[in-house]
Amino acid sequence: MEYGGIFVKTFSRYKILGVDANEQMLMVAKKKITHADVLRANFTEWSAADEGRVFDIAILMGGLLHLTDDHSLESVAENTHESLREEGAFVTFF
């Protein structure tokens, strides 16, 4: 199964929003998960809660490796927390 295939199969029945600062990554995501919405945004600055949205789960795939300072890490943690429903889950892998 190619990279992302497990994700697509597992979450195909859910509404998905892919967020990335890189337009090329969003294009790849949209090709692999055709039913997903995509948004170009920097996850150290963007919070779904700022738009009145919240999610059951947030999955960060490799994004923590790009954070080079404590402020950025704290921003991601705060924005993710704000973007989740109470009892929501945050899953990340490096």
Asked if 53 and 75 sit in the same domain, the reply is: yes
Asked if 59 and 25 sit in the same domain, the reply is: no
Return the higher-pLDDT residue of 85 and 67: 85
The stretches of the chain forming alpha helices (DSSP H) are: 5-11, 23-32, 70-83
pLDDT of residue 67: 83
Which amino acid belongs to residue 25? Answer: M
Name the pLDDT band for 4 (thresholds 50, 70, 90). low
Count how many domains the chain has: 2
Asked if 4 and 36 sit in the same domain, the reply is: yes
Q: Which residues sit opposite 17 in a β-bridge?
A: 37
Q: Are 42 and 67 in contact (CB under 8 A)?
A: no
Name the pLDDT band for 2 (thresholds 50, 70, 90). low
Average pLDDT over the chain, rounded to whole?
Answer: 84
Return the higher-pLDDT residue of 74 and 6: 74
Asked if 53 and 88 sit in the same domain, the reply is: yes
Asked if 51 and 90 sit in the same domain, the reply is: yes
**Is the pTM value of this prediction over 0.85?**
no
State the residue range of the domain holding 83.
Answer: 45-94
Asked if 55 and 34 sit in the same domain, the reply is: no
Asked if 30 and 65 sit in the same domain, the reply is: no
Asked if 26 and 53 sit in the same domain, the reply is: no
